[in-house]
Every structure is written in C-alpha cells, then in structure tokens.
Amino acid sequence: MNAQLKVDLQQLVLFHLALIFLLKVTAFILGYLAVRLGYQLISQGVRGEFKFTHKAVGVRADLANISPGLLFVLLGVFLIGYGVHVKKVADIDGGGERWIAARPSTGNLTATLTADPTTVQKGNSVTLHWSAQNAEDLDLEPGVGKVQAIGSVSVTPQESTTYTLTATGPTGTENSAAYVRVSNPVTPSINPPHNNPPRPNSPDLGQKERGKTGTTRREEPPVVVPQPVRGPAPKEVRAAVTLGDFHRGRGEYNDAITYYQKGLQLEPSNAELRQKLDEATKACKKENAILGESFNCGSN
C-alpha cells in the first residue's frame, strides 16, 4: 500500500470518528430536551390523544397515547440510549444504507521466518521459527499450513527446501523465506585389498627351439623370484579405525567392535585399536545392562 492511499485511509477513519461524535452529541441533546419537555407536560397535567398509524408487510398498527408528556419522555430516553450505543456511521450507497465500522489505522505488516540449522543431513530435523505483526492470516508452506502470529515447528525435509511464510493483513501481503539444504550422509567404506595379479608363466623357450631346429635342448629350471613378505596394509587398518569410530559415534557399539577386531587382525600390535576396542566393549556391556538388550559385544 502506497503512502497516499494510507493517508486517505487515515483521513476517512478520522472523518467517521467525527461523524460518530457529532451523532452522539446530537442524540444526547435531543434526548435531554425531549425528556425535559415530557416532564414539564406531565407536571402541568397536559392531556390529549395522539394516534400513530404504521403499516408494513400487510400489518397495520394503530397506537394511541393519552399523555403527550410520557411520549416525549420515552422519545428522549430512546435518543439518549441510541447516542450511548451507536458505533457506526450510515453511508448512503445506491439508495440503500451500508454500515461502516469506524476503526483506527493499523501499523506496518511484518513477517519473519528463520531455520535452525540451515544445513542438515537427510533424515535429521530442522526447527522453523517465525513471528508476524499486524497480520490477519498466516500461512507457512510447504507442509505446515495456517499458524499463529508467533511460534515454531520441527520439520524433517527429505530434500533441499525453501519454506515460505505468507502474512496477509489490512495493508497487503508480506512474505519471508528460509532455505534449508539437505545433504546425503556419507558412509565410509573399506577398500578391498589390491592383490597382485598372477604373473603369466614364461613361455617354454626349449619347446620353441625344438620346434624350430628339431633338436632337443636341456630345459632350464624356472627361476623363482622371491616375493617380499607383505605386512598389514596401513590403508586397511585406517579404514577399520574410521568405520569403528563412525559406528561408535552413532551408539552402534556392536558394529564398532567388529571393525576394531578386523583392524587388530591386520595389525595386532596397534595399541590405539586395542584401547578403542576395550572402550567400545565396555560401552556395549553398559548399554546392555541399562536397556536389557542382548548384544554379544564382540563375544563369540
């Protein structure tokens, strides 16, 4: 809503308030004068007969009053009561009456929406916080719907989502958005050992020579090349430690124990692995005692 339209609305409200005040004052004055006149007529003993006829919807009513003083008193009471209770101004529109409620102007329409946290792994929850002022209707989408002026809600988005709060009020519409990025969890994996491919057998040179010359040569014994003794692969040990720590951090002690034991099989002298295995075993047994579970905690 622009500034000019806001000024026009304020002027219209002030005009209505002025009309209501003038109408109340007029009703009070006329009511007082009517009551006063009626009291004087009753005090003076003035008597007479006034007939009033009214016809509406096929019904005719004839009223008679032998005391004009009482009539003016009742009229004055009615006018005073009307002045007390009137709250609206009659606006003539196309030959009919339309009642317009006099209301003060509202403040600025505001809407605020935040997400905590803004980045989560898939399956985790996010808390949306919002607040609004001078709003008649609030809608939070997707998936939430109508909300109050101030509040919060926990949501679990399955993909990156932009949540939008739409506030509607007397001055228009306001929007506030919060973007939540959802990432897929990364699970570490152990790479399979890289075995050396078998060496192809050397061709039998003696047989080739015999095929060429037709003579027989003494076959030389194959030369055996000694292979170095492979120790534990550091990469495999580190992968076992990483997987064990991952499951241990998630409270999956039985799986953590399994990976720590695999690491110790590759490198039995690793003190760090042995310490982690002992701690995971103790935590697993403690969890069994508290929850009444039956995990073997690494025992066969």
Q: Which of 80-94, 145-159, 210-224, 254-268 has the lowest mean pLDDT?
A: 210-224
More confident call, 287 vs 224: 287
Contacts of 139 (CB under 8 A, 6+ apart): 145, 146, 147, 165, 166, 168
H or E element at residue 273: helix 271-291
Are 160 and 242 within one domain? no
Domain shared by 8 and 49, yes or no: yes
How many percent of the chain have pLDDT more than 70?
66
Asked if the structure places residue 224 within a domain, the reply is: no
Q: What is the pLDDT of residue 270?
A: 87
Closest alpha carbon to 219 in 227, 209, 211: 209
Residue 28 domain boundaries = 3-101
Contacts of 196 (CB under 8 A, 6+ apart): none
Examine residue 193 and state whether it is found in any structural domain, yes or no: no
How much is the pLDDT for 173? 92
Residue 202 domain-assigned (yes or no) = no
Instruction: Give the model's pLDDT for residue 64.
Output: 52
Mean pLDDT within 126-153: 92
Top mean-pLDDT range of 180-184, 205-209, 211-215: 180-184
* Same domain assignment for residues 95 and 7: yes
Q: What is the mean pLDDT of residues 41-49?
A: 73
Q: What is the pLDDT of residue 230?
A: 53
Looking at the structure of the chain, the number of domains it has is 3
The enclosing domain of 118 has a CATH number of 2.60.40.10
Of 97-106, 246-255, 272-281, the poorest mean pLDDT is in 97-106
28 located within any domain = yes
- Residue pLDDT, tens place only, 71-127: 778 888 888 888 787 766 544 344 443 444 444 445 789 999 999 999 999 889 999
Q: Is residue 248 pLDDT above 50, yes or no?
A: yes
**Residue 9 to residue 16: CA distance in whole angstroms:** 11
217, 169 in Cβ contact below 8 A?
no
pLDDT-derived band of residue 224, with 50, 70 and 90 as boundaries? low
Residue 187 has pLDDT above 80, yes or no: no
How large is the average pLDDT for residues 30-34? Answer: 87
Query: What is the average pLDDT value for the chain, to the nearest integer?
Result: 76
Q: How high is the pLDDT of residue 12?
A: 79
Q: Tell me whether residue 297 is in a domain.
A: no
Residues 13 and 89 in one domain: yes
Pair 216, 210: CB distance under 8 Å: yes
pLDDT exceeds 90 at position 294: no
Residue 27 vs residues 16, 22, 131: alpha-carbon distances, Å: 16, 9, 45
- Boundary-marking domain end, from 82, 101, 120: 101
Q: Are residues 84 and 165 in the same domain?
A: no
CATH number at residue 274: 1.25.40.10
Q: Answer whether residue 240 shows pLDDT above 60.
A: yes
The answer to whether residue 229 is domain-embedded is no
pLDDT at residue 166 in the model: 94
Task: Please check whether residues 81 and 55 belong to one and the same domain.
Answer: yes
Domain boundary among 74, 101, 128: 101
For residue 245, is it within any domain?
A: yes
114 with 88, same domain?
no
Q: Considering the domain boundaries, does residue 76 fall inside one?
A: yes
Task: Give percent helix, percent strand, percent coil of the chain, each to the nearest 5.
Answer: 40, 25, 35
